[in-house]
Chains A and B, each alone.
Chain A
Amino acid sequence: MIGKVDLTQEGIEVKKSACYFCHQNCGVLAYVKDNKVLGIEGDPEFPTNQGGLCCRGNIALKHLDHPDRVNYPLKRVGKKGEGKWQQIPWNQAIQEIAAKLSSIREQFGAEAVATAGGTQRTDDWARRRFMNLFGSPNGFHNSHLCWIPTFMVETAIYGWCPFDLDIGASKCIVLWGQNPGASGMPEAHHVAELQDKGMKVIVIDPRFTESASKADLWLPLRPGSDLALALAWIHVIIYEGLMDQEFVLEYCEGFNELAEHVVDFSPEWAAELTWLTPDQIRAGAYMYANNKPGNIQWGTSVDQIGKPAGATMHARALLRALTGNLDRPGADLLTGPSQDYLTDEELEGNEFLSDEQKAKQIGADKFPMVTWPGYSKISELTKKTWGKAPTAEWMCEAHPPSVFRAIASSDPYPVKALLISATNPLASYGETSVVLEALRKVDFMVACEYWVTPSAMFADYIMPIAGALERPIITNSYGCADFMLTSQRAIQPMYERRNDFNFWRDLGVALGQEANWPWKTVEEAYFSAIAPIGHAVSSFDEFVEKIRFHFPEREYYKYKRQGFATPSGKVELYSTTLKELGLPPLPQYVGPSENEIDNPELAAKFPLVLTTGGGFMPFHHSEHFQIKDMRFLRHSPFMDINPATAKEMGITDGDWVWIETARGRMRQRANLTEAIHPKVIYTQRCWWYPEKDMRDFDLGGELGGALESNGNVLTSTADDYCDPYSGSWANRGLLCRVYKVEEADLKEVM
C-alpha cells in the first residue's frame, strides 16, 4: 500500500524514475497503470537516497497535475504582462518562433538572441546545441552563483575540480558555506553516517544552520569574509608546519612565492575581518590539516560573495594542495571527465560556433574565467591531459547581468530575443530592477515553463515542458564526474508537454538544423551517450531497467601517471593560467563587495551585514511556492535577526520588517534567533506569491509579489561589485538596515 493505493492490483508496472526537484535526482519507484502514476516511493536501491525522499520529492504527484501547470503552448494575445493567452498547437508555435528568430538574426545577427536555463531543470546540452547551431554565444544560467566559477578556478590550479569526494575514508569534511541539512538530503545522510564513525565535521557559516548544529566545529564568520579565513588557514598550514611537504615539493609549483605572499595573513590579521578569534581560526586549520585524508565539500556560497569570490576559490584550492588532499584515498578526487560515455560537452556541438561569434559573447571582455577566453584555455589544457573538456554549457556562458543590461541599453549591441527555460529570472537573478527592465523591454520572449511565473508573464509564447516523472534523466554532473546514474520516464508527458529537448530540436529543425539533430527523442540521444560503455542493451530504457548505474573502477593518484592538466603538469600554486588571463596568479586579499572597513560612509547608513541566497526547506530556488501541501510549512517569508538587535529596533517575533540596501527594500517577517550574530541579517531568497495578481503593476496587478519579499531586490550586479575572475555577483556580505513595516504598509503586505 502507498496511502490508499493497492500496489498489488493487476496491471501495475514499476518504473525506475527519479525526482527532478533538485540536482540530486534521487531514485524514485513509480507505480504506473495506463500511463497514470498511482503512487511513488524512494528507490531503496538507488545509491544516493537509499529510499529516502525529502519534502520536494514527496510532492511529485501534486506537481505532476497541479491545476496551475502549463499544459499547452500559449501565445500572448493581450499586452505584455497582462496574462492573456491563446492556446495554439505546438507546431504552430514552433514555426512562428522560428520565423521571428530568423528575422532577428538577419537584422541584428545571431548574437541578438539570448537564452537562459534553470538549475538542471532542463535538457541543458540541447539548448547549447541549438545556440551553437544558430550562431549565438549568449546562453546563460545562474551558473555564476552555483559552483561554476569554482570549477574553472580550481581547474586552472590543478587541472580539474573535485565533484567526487572519496568520503568513505575521510577523516574530516569542511562544509564551507554549505548546509546539506536544508538542501541536499542524501549528502546530509552520508555526512551523518561518517560522523558517527569519527569523521570530523567543520561548518563555516554565519548562521547556526541545521548542519552547524551537528558540527564538531562551527565557524560563524562575517558573511563574505571567507577569503580572509582561507588565507589565514594557508598561513597557519605553511608557517606552523602542517602541510604535506612531500606532495608540495614533488607536485606543486610556486610554493616559495605563495609562502612569501601569505606571510602577513596571520589569524590575528584575519580576526578583525572575519569576526572570528585567532583561536577559532587556528582550531579550524588544525582540524582540517591534522585529520587527513580530508575533504572540502563543494558548496556554492563562495560563488556568491561577489568581488572576493575568485580569489577565495583560488585560496581554498590551495588548502587542498598544501595538505595533499587531492586524488588520494579519502580525499577530494580529480576524476576528470568520464572516459566511458559521451559527456554533455560531446553532445553540445561546440565546434559549430565560429570563432567570430565566440568573440561576441557578452561579458567575455570583462570576466574571462567562465566565458570563451578562460574556457578555451582550460578546455585546451584538459583535452591534452584527459582527452576531453568540461561541459561548455555552465562553464562558458554569457554574463547574465550584462545580457539583461544589453537588452535595455543595446550596449555592447542590441539583444532582441530572450528564451528562458524553467527559470524565473525576476526571482532568481541578482538586482531584480535590472531584470525587470530587461523583461519589459525585450522585443521577443519565449518561456519554456511548468508555471506562468512572474517572468513568464512577459513572454510572447509559453511552451509547456515535461517535469518530474515525465522525462528520462542522466545524472552525472554533466560528465564532469566519472559516474552515471540513469532514470526513465514513469509516463509519457501529459497533455501537450514535451521535454525542452523537443523544443530546441523542433526549433532547430524549423531553422534548417535537421542534419545536426540525429536523435528524434531524448531517449535516442541518451542511448547514444551510454552506448560506448558497451552493455548489451538496445535502448536507453533497457539500460535503466537492467543496468542503471555506472561506476568505473577508481584510480587514485592519476597525477603520478599523467601529471595535472596545467601548463607545467603540476599543481600551480602560482597560477600561470590565471596570470595569462590577466588575473592575479596568487590570491590577493579583497574585502567583501560592501564592508565596514572599505566603505565606512555606507556602513554608517547601513550598519548591518546581509546574507541571502541560502537554501531552505522545503523550497528549491524560486520553486514550489504554489504547492500548498508544502507551503504550509513556510507560509510566509522569514528573515533571521538576533533578539538583541531586534529589541533595539522594537521588532518582535513575527513582525513584518523592511530589509533595505542601497538598491532598494523588501519585506519579510522577523524570526528572532540566537542563531545569528547581532550584526548580521539573513533573509530567505527568491520569494514570490503565486496566489497574488500576476499582472504587471501598470496593468493593475502585483506581478505575483515578485518584488515584495525577494532577496534579489537587495543585491547588486554592477560590474565593480562582481568577481573580476568570473563576474559572479554578491548575495552575501552586503550592507543593509532593517526596520519595522508600519501599520499602513501592513495591510498591503497581508
Chain B
Amino acid sequence: MIEALPQALALIFTPQTILVGIGAALFGLFVGALPGLSATMAVALLVPVSFFLDPVSALTAVVMTTAMAIYAGDIPAALMRIPGTPASAAYVADAYALTKQGKAELALGICLIASAIGGLFGTLVLILLAPWLAEVALRFSGVEYFWLVALGLSCAVLVAGPDPLKGAVGLFVGLFIATIGQDVTSGYPRFTAGIPNLLSGVSFIPAMVGMFAIAEILRNLPTIRTAAEVQTQKLGSILRGTGAVLRRHPVNLVRGNVIGTAIGILPGAGADIAAWISYAVGKRFSKAPERYGQGSEEGLVDAGAANNAAIAGAWVPALVFGIPGDSVTAIVIGLLLLKGIQPGPDIFLMNPGQIGAVFLAFVLANLVMIPIGLIAIRLCAKVLVVPRPVLTPLILLFCMVGSFAIDNDPFALVIMAVMGVLAWMMEENGIPIAPTILGIVLGDPFEKHFMTTMMKGDGSLAYFVSRPIAAVLAVITALVWLAMLWALVRGKGRAAVT
C-alpha cells in the first residue's frame, strides 16, 4: 500500500480536492451542529453535488463531511441538551450536565479531542486491515460472496435495534425495493407497474435523499415552530484540562476506540450504535457508574471516541467486499457504482492511488477537525439560531433539485417523495432504516450470486455449501439467525409473563 502514497498525495493535493474538502468540512460542521439534521442526511444532500466531481474529490467530500458532522453533533448536545446527530445521543445528558456545572469548555474539549483520536484510530485499523482482507477476498468465488452478503445482511438485522423481528422487516423491504426493475439474470421487468422509468430499478440517489432527508423533515415537522434554548455562557480556553481528563482515563479511550471501530466494521451498525454500546460498556466497568448521566467525563471519553472511530471502521467492509458498514458507506457504494467503480478487492489492485487518497482524506479529516472544531465551537452559538422555518424549505428545495440532477429525470422527485414517506412510516412503526438501505444496495449482487449459484448447482441447494470457506460462512450466518430467533423466543416469553 505504501508504494501508492506518492500517487495518493498527487491525487488529494489538487486545488479542486482541497477546496472541495474545506467546503465539505464546513458543510459537515453546519449540518452536524444543527439538531435534527444527521450526518447521513448531510451525505445524502452532498451526493448530488459530488456526483459531478472526480472520484477522489467526491470521496474526500464524503469523508470530511461525516467526520465533521459526527463531531459537531456534540456541540448542541453540550449547549442545548439536544444531540446534533443521533451519534451524540448516548452522552447528551453528561455533556449538558458539565455545561450546567460551568464546564462547557471541558465537555466540548473532551468531545473534540476524543473524536479526533477515535477517528485516527479507526483510520489506522482501516489502513492496516482493508488491504490485507482484500488479498484474502481475491480468492472468493460467487458462492463465498453470496454467503458474505448474506452474513452482512444478517448482521445488519441483528444490530439494527432492540427488535430483530422489525429489523428483518426492514431488510426484506429493502430487498424487495431492489427487485424492482429488470432482473439481473434475464432482464425480465419486475414490479414496474408499466412505468418505463422503473425499468432500470429504483434510482438510488433520489431514494437515499428521500429516505434520509425527506423522512427527517417529516419527522421534525411537529416541532418546527419551537425554538430551542441555547446556553450562551462565555467560553474560556477550550482545551484547558482536556489533556488531564484523557490521561486520567486511558482505558476508556482505548476501549472506546476499539469498540467503535469494531461496531463500525459490522455491517449495518454505525456511529450511533457504537456510541451507545461504548457508553454502556464504560458504565458497566466504571468505578463511578453513578456519575454516568450526571456529567461523567469518562462517559464522554468512551462514547465521544467510539462514534468517530466507527466512521472509518465502516469503510473496511465497504471497500473490501462492497458491503456497507453503515448508512453513510451504503450511500458511498451507490455513488461509486454510479461513477463506474465496483467496490471490492479488485479496487486495491486497480486503483491503489484512489484508495490511498481515501485513507489520506481520513487522516487529514481527523487532524483538521481540531482547529476547525475549535473555531466551530466559538461560532456555533450563532449557527444554532438559524431559524428552522427557513432552513427546512431550503433543504426541501435542495433535495428536489439534487434528486433531479442525477438523471435529469423529473420522475426522480416521485421516487424521492415515495421513499421519504415510506421511510417516515417505517420509523414511526419502529422498523429500522439501516437494514433497508443495505437491502437496497446489496439486493442486486445478492440475487445475482444467488441465481448464478443456483444455476451452477442445477437448482441443488447443496452446491451453496460445497466449498469450505462457503460452508464456514454459511454456518456463521446460520448462527446469527439462531441467535436472533433465540432472542425472539426469550423476549416473547418475557412479554407473556409481564
A and B: interacting chains? no
Which A residues have a C-beta under 8 Å from some C-beta of B? none
